[in-house]
């Protein structure tokens, strides 16, 4: 190739870097998908396409080393998207490593040091992954059972998706809509968005409209399990016309006849028969009753090696709901028992019933614990991913950073772990991008050249604590003061009386942590306030500690599970509330005379410590706290705390302790601050569960604003 025809190496690097970044983010999304129980096939296809583009690009620019790895990578991903290679942990790890290799290669091409990685070993592993694919016959892959005009323009991948959809019993819909030429792009993306909840868009076929120069017709071939009327309803007003795409019977070609013939006999009805034709080897194995002929590459046993079962977390949730109802029924039995005890002639029955009740109680508790255990996953699932990403972040930042992990075996509810990866990634980015200094600065400060970021996790009572600590430059208090004043977040007077800790906490306010110059690494515009909100949604609290010149530590405190929790039941203004026991420190009877006001805030002094007071009834607008009527009556202060923060919640009565299952309030009330959800007690009355983290935060925010 004449080099004059090829653009400069900068052209290659710019585009290759972009593709490799896409590969990285797609892989993260794919990994995420495997953990939450399903990967969008579209995502896998995107992944494949990026590898494909990289290979083409590298080839054109004579970058044989990048091209070579990309070539093998693409082959594995091609087999993956066609359902012939499994998406398991080993392969995911291999993909991460491959992408890291691309980063290293590009850095070397850009004039950096040679990467010194073993290309032959990686190539061999990629080949091995590809060779693990299910056997199939290259020739004689039958046509897909749709009209020829569609079948002949479908790509191999689209054919595969079409078969997969038929195999899972989906109906194929033909959605037709016309767009003006100038509005195609917005029309297509709008329609794809509307079709997403309906099913999978397998192909998009453009068609000219005879005699119409201004418009083009598009046919979306959609696989969906939703009835036709619902598809039509979902597209109402879009101008689209929906019909069921008829399946056509394919006469098996000679080479495919053996396998497909058996399937056609076995399958009943036109849809089923057609669907089986040309299904993947894995799918067809179940349907084909003929014994495999000698020489076929058929596995000896169909029994799975794995002893694990993947379960949709929604199923665990519904089981947990049933346990919740058992707990309610149990409470009902206990009430009946108590009533029986009061009947003189039924007293012995009450004793017997109570014994049975205790057995039931124990078993329900075991069942609940067992179910909770199933939901627990070790933090290593995200820590591993984070360390890998950290490596590539530090590389792009031109910094050398060592990531040290401890406590990765600490377990947390799967749902919490899922929601944690984004905030943790953001904090990690923050640490590497803004925390760790450039190598020269570190040298000048007498620090080792490589920065250090620690990810630590440990259990503390009913909570899990996660720390992200760096040995970087720390946060400059003057910088915070300046920005906070500039943005009008606090007044000069308030600023003057703030403690060092309060000052640091200001960086969690919206707009405060956004650097003036846009950093490519920490994202654009997403500040620590978003991280804080994400953590708060998990009933967690984030805290920061920083020493200029020495480093910064973020501490996240989270409940172990959100599914079930022991709670303190309280009453105020006739309403019943549940306060998660994990955040209750103590409850104290107080004489109203001990409440007083300090700087406009109601407070109570307990053992020499002044505590802000929150009146529950007033906070949620249920009217005033009921006055004390008799001298014997007292109010109660429930002292709650999250991290170092304390708050006294004033209630009229304590009604005891009970396990509750939090149910979401639905969309209407999901934004209500201070309410985590609702639950029922034994008497079937709905009870609001307090979100202590939000209440504490709200109370302290008022304090800051005051």
**Residue 11 touching another protein (CB under 8 A):** yes
In the complex, least distance from residue 10 CB atom to another protein, rounded to whole angstroms: 10
Of 9-17, 115-123, 162-170, 580-588, which segment contacts another protein by CB under 8 A? 9-17
Among 152, 356, 486, 586, binds another protein (CB under 8 A): 152
In the complex, least distance from residue 177 CB atom to another protein, rounded to whole angstroms: 14
Of 68-76, 409-417, 629-637, 662-670, which segment contacts another protein by CB under 8 A? 68-76
**Residue 203 touching another protein (CB under 8 A):** yes
In the complex, least distance from residue 164 CB atom to another protein, rounded to whole angstroms: 16
In the complex, least distance from residue 63 CB atom to another protein, rounded to whole angstroms: 10
Which positions from 38 through 67 interact with another protein, judged by CB under 8 A? 46, 49, 52-53, 55-62, 67
Q: Cα separations (Å) of 110 from 97, 116, 558?
A: 20, 15, 43
In the complex, least distance from residue 221 CB atom to another protein, rounded to whole angstroms: 10
Beta bridge partners, 172, equal: 223
Comparing CA positions, the residue from 678, 157, 366 lying closest to residue 165 is: 157
Comparing CB distances to another protein, the nearer of 208 and 292 is: 208
Which positions from 237 through 266 interact with another protein, judged by CB under 8 A? none
In the complex, least distance from residue 172 CB atom to another protein, rounded to whole angstroms: 16
The secondary element (H helix, E strand) that includes residue 72 is helix 64-81
**Residue 141 touching another protein (CB under 8 A):** yes
- Residue 95 buriedness (CB in 10 A; 0-12 / 13-18 / 19+): buried
Among 5, 121, 309, 706, binds another protein (CB under 8 A): 5
The CA-based dihedral angle spanning residues 109, 110, 112, 118, taken in that order and rounded to the nearest 10 degrees: -20
Among 12, 47, 554, 635, binds another protein (CB under 8 A): 12
Among 25, 36, 137, 155, binds another protein (CB under 8 A): 155
**Residue 398 touching another protein (CB under 8 A):** no
**Residue 176 touching another protein (CB under 8 A):** no
Backbone angles phi, psi at 691, to 5 degrees: -100, 90
Which positions from 71 through 90 interact with another protein, judged by CB under 8 A? 71, 74-75, 78
**Residue 9 touching another protein (CB under 8 A):** no
Query: How is residue 448 annotated by DSSP?
Result: -
**Residue 598 touching another protein (CB under 8 A):** no
In the complex, least distance from residue 57 CB atom to another protein, rounded to whole angstroms: 6
Comparing CB distances to another protein, the nearer of 160 and 447 is: 160
Strands 645-651 and 609-615: parallel
**Residue 148 touching another protein (CB under 8 A):** no
Which pair of tokens denotes residue 228? 């036709």
What is the residue whose two structure tokens read 């990403």?
Answer: 389
Among 158, 419, 470, 691, binds another protein (CB under 8 A): 158
DSSP assignment of 121-165, as one string? HHHHHHHHHHHTSPP--STTPPPPSS-HHHHTT--HHHHHHHHHH
The dihedral sign for the CA sequence 485, 489, 495, 501: negative
What is the residue whose two structure tokens read 């009902």?
Answer: 332
In the complex, least distance from residue 50 CB atom to another protein, rounded to whole angstroms: 9
| CA–CA dist 596, 582 (Å, integer) | 28
Comparing CB distances to another protein, the nearer of 214 and 298 is: 214
Which pair of tokens denotes residue 674? 């201070």
Q: 174 Cβ partners below 8 Å, 6+ apart? A: 219, 220, 221, 222, 242, 243, 244, 245
Cβ-contact 287, 262 below 8 angstroms? yes
**Residue 130 touching another protein (CB under 8 A):** no
Comparing CB distances to another protein, the nearer of 255 and 619 is: 255
Which pair of tokens denotes residue 343? 């009947």
Among 90, 156, 476, 586, binds another protein (CB under 8 A): 156
In the complex, least distance from residue 1 CB atom to another protein, rounded to whole angstroms: 5
In the complex, least distance from residue 44 CB atom to another protein, rounded to whole angstroms: 14
Among 213, 296, 345, 440, binds another protein (CB under 8 A): 213
| CA–CA dist 279, 167 (Å, integer) | 7
**Residue 2 touching another protein (CB under 8 A):** yes
Comparing CB distances to another protein, the nearer of 52 and 494 is: 52
Comparing CB distances to another protein, the nearer of 210 and 269 is: 210
Which pair of tokens denotes residue 198? 């309906």
Which pair of tokens denotes residue 447? 């620090």
Based on its alpha-carbon atoms, the radius of gyration of the chain, rounded to whole angstroms, reads 31
- Residue ranges of alpha helices (H) inside 7-40 are 9-35
Comparing CB distances to another protein, the nearer of 126 and 328 is: 126
In the complex, least distance from residue 160 CB atom to another protein, rounded to whole angstroms: 10
In the complex, least distance from residue 130 CB atom to another protein, rounded to whole angstroms: 11
What is the residue whose two structure tokens read 């991948």?
Answer: 157
Comparing CB distances to another protein, the nearer of 138 and 460 is: 138
| CA–CA dist 306, 337 (Å, integer) | 47
SS3 402: strand
Backbone angles phi, psi at 266, to 5 degrees: -70, -45
Among 80, 126, 146, 154, binds another protein (CB under 8 A): 154
| CA–CA dist 569, 387 (Å, integer) | 42
| CA–CA dist 136, 361 (Å, integer) | 56
Comparing CB distances to another protein, the nearer of 153 and 298 is: 153
The secondary element (H helix, E strand) that includes residue 323 is helix 313-342
Size of the site for another protein (CB under 8 A): 46
Among 28, 43, 184, 232, binds another protein (CB under 8 A): 184
Comparing CB distances to another protein, the nearer of 152 and 265 is: 152
**Residue 178 touching another protein (CB under 8 A):** no
Comparing CA positions, the residue from 401, 410, 403 lying closest to residue 556 is: 410
Cβ-contact 567, 578 below 8 angstroms? yes
**Residue 127 touching another protein (CB under 8 A):** no
Comparing CB distances to another protein, the nearer of 150 and 489 is: 150
Strands 575-580 and 686-690: parallel
In the complex, least distance from residue 150 CB atom to another protein, rounded to whole angstroms: 9
Comparing CB distances to another protein, the nearer of 6 and 598 is: 6
> Edge-to-edge strands of the sheet including 575-580?
653-661, 564-572, 575-580, 686-690, 675-680
In the complex, least distance from residue 18 CB atom to another protein, rounded to whole angstroms: 10
State the residues that interact with another protein by CB under 8 A. Answer: 1-2, 5-7, 11-12, 15, 46, 49, 52-53, 55-62, 67, 71, 74-75, 78, 141, 149, 152-156, 158, 181-182, 184-185, 188, 203-208, 213, 216
């Amino acid at each position: 190739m004449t080099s004059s025809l090829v653009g400069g190496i900068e052209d290659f690097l710019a585009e290759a870097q972009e593709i490799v970044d896409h590969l990285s983010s797609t892989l993260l999304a794919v990994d995420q998908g495997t953990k939450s129980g399903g990967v969008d096939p579209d995502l896998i296809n995107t992944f494949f396409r990026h590898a494909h583009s990289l290979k083409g690009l590298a080839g054109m620019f004579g970058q044989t080393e990048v091209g070579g790895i990309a070539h093998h990578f693409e082959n594995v991903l091609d087999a993956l998207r066609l359902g012939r290679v499994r998406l398991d942990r080993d392969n995911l790890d291999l993909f991460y490593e491959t992408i890291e290799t691309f980063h290293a290669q590009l850095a070397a091409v850009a004039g950096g040091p040679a990467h010194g990685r073993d290309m032959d070993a990686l190539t061999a592993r990629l080949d091995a992954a590809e060779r693990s694919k299910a056997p199939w016959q290259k020739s004689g892959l039958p046509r897909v059972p749709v009209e020829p005009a569609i079948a002949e323009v479908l790509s191999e991948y689209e054919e595969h998706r079409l078969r997969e959809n038929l195999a899972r019993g989906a109906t194929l819909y033909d959605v037709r809509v016309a767009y003006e030429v100038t509005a195609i792009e917005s029309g297509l993306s709008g329609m794809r968005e509307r079709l997403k909840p309906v099913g999978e868009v397998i192909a998009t076929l453009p068609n000219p409209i005879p005699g119409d120069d201004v418009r083009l017709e598009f046919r979306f071939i959609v696989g969906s399990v939703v009835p036709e009327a619902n598809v039509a309803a979902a597209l109402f007003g879009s101008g689209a016309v929906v019909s069921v795409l008829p399946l056509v019977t394919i006469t098996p070609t000679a080479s495919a006849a053996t396998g497909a013939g058996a399937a056609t006999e076995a399958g009943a009805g036109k849809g089923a028969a057609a669907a089986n034709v040309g299904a993947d080897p894995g799918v067809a194995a179940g349907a084909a009753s003929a014994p495999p002929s000698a020489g076929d590459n058929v596995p000896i046993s169909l029994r799975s090696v794995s002893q694990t079962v993947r379960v949709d977390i929604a199923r665990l949730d519904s089981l947990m709901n049933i346990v919740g109802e058992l707990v309610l029924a149990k409470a009902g039995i206990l009430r009946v028992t108590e009533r029986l005890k009061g009947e003189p002639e039924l007293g012995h029955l009450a004793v017997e019933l109570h014994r049975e009740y205790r057995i039931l109680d124990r078993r329900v508790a075991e069942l609940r614990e067992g179910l909770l255990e199933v939901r627990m996953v070790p933090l290593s699932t995200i820590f591993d991913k984070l360390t890998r990403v950290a490596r590539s972040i530090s590389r792009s930042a031109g910094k050398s950073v060592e990531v040290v992990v401890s406590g990765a075996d600490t377990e947390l509810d799967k749902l919490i772990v899922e929601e944690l990866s984004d905030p943790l990634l953001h904090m990690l980015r923050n640490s590497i991008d803004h925390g760790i200094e450039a190598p020269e600065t570190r040298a000048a400060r007498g620090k080792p050249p490589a920065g250090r970021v620690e990810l630590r996790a440990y259990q503390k009572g009913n909570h899990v604590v996660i720390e992200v600590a760096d040995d970087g430059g720390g946060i400059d208090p003057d910088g915070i003061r300046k920005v906070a004043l500039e943005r009008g977040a606090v007044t000069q007077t308030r600023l003057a009386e703030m403690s060092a800790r309060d000052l640091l906490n200001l960086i969690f306010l919206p707009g405060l942590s956004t650097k003036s110059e846009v950093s490519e690494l920490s994202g654009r515009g997403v500040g620590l306030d978003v991280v804080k909100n994400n953590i708060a949604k998990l009933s967690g609290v984030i805290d920061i500690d920083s020493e200029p010149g020495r480093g910064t530590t973020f501490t996240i405190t989270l409940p172990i599970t959100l599914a079930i929790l022991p709670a303190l039941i309280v009453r105020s203004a006739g309403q019943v509330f549940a306060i998660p026991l994990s955040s209750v420190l103590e409850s104290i009877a107080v004489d109203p005379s001990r409440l007083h006001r300090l700087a406009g805030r109601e407070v109570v002094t307990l053992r020499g410590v002044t505590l802000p007071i929150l009146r529950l009834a007033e906070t949620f607008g249920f009217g005033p706290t009921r006055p004390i009527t008799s001298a014997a009556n007292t109010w109660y202060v429930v002292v709650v705390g999250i991290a170092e923060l304390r708050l006294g919640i004033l209630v009229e009565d304590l009604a005891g302790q009970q396990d509750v299952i939090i149910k979401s309030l639905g969309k209407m009330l999901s934004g209500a601050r201070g309410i985590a959800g609702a639950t029922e007690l034994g008497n079937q009355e709905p009870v609001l569960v307090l979100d202590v983290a939000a209440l504490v935060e709200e109370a302290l925010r008022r304090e800051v604003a005051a």
